[in-house]
Amino acid sequence: MKLDRREFLKNLGIGSLLLALAGQIYTWVRSLFPNVSYEGTRRVKLDEPDKIPDGVTFIDDIKTYIFREGKTFYAISAVCTHLGCTVKYVGLSKPKVVKIGGKEVEVKWEFHCPCHGSKFYGDGTNYAGPAPRPLDWVKVEVSPEDGKLVVDLGKKVSQNYKLTV
């Protein structure tokens, strides 16, 4: 009986020692996981749709190209799907016709990645280099409050999502 008690006290002592140390060390580890984010915005409000320039505009804050074709708007992310470099818009002097997904499409511009030579057609489809998939398309919407155009990185959309105002 006496031995049991001694055994119990020993276990209690060693147990509390290990638990207390584990608890203290955990505070150091836990403190390195941030609870709040200071990262930049994922949602950018632009001007009214009719004040957006025709053609292509690059929005620095969210690394996205926004396109206007008359009353139609769409946006393609400039982040290369390979390793995240920012792809460059390259206007073609002569439009070319390529086959994308079995359909023949006329392409007036391309995106080239400066890092590892990935190349994308105007709609973001990858055709050369290491990029594993097409560039992401980004949601474009009209703000219900003031009618301005909003580009929202948080909302993924399928390729060829276009907004007509």
Partner 1 sequence: MAEVKVNGKKLTKRSLFWTWAPRSEKEAGDSIVRNLLLHWFPAKVTLKSLSWGYSLWLGTITATLFLILTLTGVVLMFLYVPSVERAYQSVKDIEYVVSFGWFIRAMHRNSAHLMVAFVFLHMVRVFLTGAYKNGIGVGQNRPLNWIVGVILLLITLFLSFTGYLLPWDQLAFWAITVGTNIAKNAPIVGEWIRFVLLGGHEIEQNALIRFYVLHCFFLPAAVLILFSYHMWRIRKDGGLACVDNLVLSQKKEKVKDGMKSKTYSLLGLTAGRTVQVETSLIDEEKYTVNSVPFLIRRIGLVMLGTFVFVVLISLFIHAPLEEPANPNVTPNPAKAPWYFLWLQELVAITTIRIGGFVLNGALVGGILIPGILVILLAIWPYLDKSSNLSTGVWFSKERMRQNIVFLVLCFLVIVLIIIGTYMRGPNWEFYFPWEPWPQLPKKF
Partner 2 sequence: MDKSKLKKDVTIVYAVALMGLIVTIIMYIGYFTPEWKKYQSEFKRYVSEKLGEEKAKAIEFGVKQIYVKELNRVDRCITCHMGYEWKGLENAPNPFKTHPKEILDKHPLQKYGCTICHGGQGYALNKEEAHGFIEHWEEPLLGKELEDIYRPPDRKVLLQMNCNICHRYDTLTPGADYINYAKKLVKEKGCRACHKINGRGGVIGPDLTYEGDKAPEQFDYSRIGGYKSVFAWHVAHFKNPKMVSPESIMPEMGFGSREAIALTLLTMSWKKVNLPPEYYPQSYTALADLPTPEEIEKERQMREGEGAFFVNKGCFVCHSISVFGIESAAKIGPDLSNALEDVQSRFGKTLENFIKEPTGTMSIVLGSQIMLTDSEKVQVVELLTKAYEKYRKQQLTSKH
Rounded to whole angstroms, how far apart are CA atoms 37 and 23? 25
In the list partner 2, partner 1, none, the entry touching 154 (Cβ below 5 to 8 angstroms by class) is none
**Surface-to-core class of residue 124, CB atoms within 10 Å of its CB (0-12 exposed, 13-18 middle, 19+ buried):** buried
Among 1, 2, 5, 35, binds partner 1 (CB under 8 A): 35
* Tokens, residue 14: 């060693």
Does the footprint of partner 1 cover residue 40 (CB under 8 A)?
no
Rounded to whole angstroms, how far apart are CA atoms 146 and 4? 76
Does the footprint of partner 1 cover residue 20 (CB under 8 A)?
yes
Shortest distance, CB of residue 16 to partner 1, whole angstroms? Answer: 11
Rounded to whole angstroms, how far apart are CA atoms 159 and 121? 12
Shortest distance, CB of residue 12 to partner 2, whole angstroms? Answer: 7
Amino acid at site 58:
F
**Stretches 23-31, 53-61, 63-71, 129-137: which one binds partner 1 (CB under 8 A)?**
23-31
Among 8, 13, 47, 114, binds partner 2 (CB under 8 A): 13
